[in-house]
């Protein structure tokens, strides 16, 4: 992985990475992978610190507004 990709990540400009750079990130190993995890951990610590956040969905009802049965759906 090249330094340009790492610098782009450090600057928080992930939306400026090319397709090939994303592929490099997904497939990196060894020292490159360690560098990637170090950057990710720094970003996490700066954004969230050492806190735990819990998210969830609360369903009020499971009634179908369209009154469709699962077997009558056409895709």
pTM, 2 dp? 0.60
Question: Is residue 12 one of the residues assigned to a domain?
Answer: yes
Q: What's the Cα-to-Cα distance from 49 to each of 16, 63, 73, rounded to whole Å?
A: 25, 40, 46
Question: Is residue 56 one of the residues assigned to a domain?
Answer: no
Query: H-type helices in 1-75, by residue range?
Result: 3-10, 19-27, 30-48
> Is the pLDDT score of 52 beyond 70?
yes
pLDDT of residue 37: 93
Contact 35/1 with Cβ under 8 angstroms?
Answer: yes
Tens of pLDDT, residue by residue over 26-44, are 999 999 999 999 999 998 8
Question: Is residue 37 one of the residues assigned to a domain?
Answer: yes
Question: Is residue 21 one of the residues assigned to a domain?
Answer: yes
Could you tell me the residue range of the domain that residue 21 belongs to?
3-48
Residues in the chain: 75
> Is the pLDDT score of 19 beyond 70?
yes
> Is the pLDDT score of 70 beyond 90?
no
Number of domains in the chain: 1
> Is the pLDDT score of 73 beyond 60?
no
């Amino acid at each position: 992985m090249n330094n340009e990709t790492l610098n782009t990540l450090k600057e928080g400009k992930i939306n400026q990475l090319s397709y090939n750079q994303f592929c490099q990130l997904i497939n990196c190993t060894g020292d490159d992978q360690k560098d990637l995890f170090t950057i990710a951990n720094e970003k996490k610590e700066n954004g969230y610190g050492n806190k735990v956040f819990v998210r969830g969905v609360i369903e009020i009802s499971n009634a179908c507004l369209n009154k469709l049965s699962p077997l009558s759906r056409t895709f």
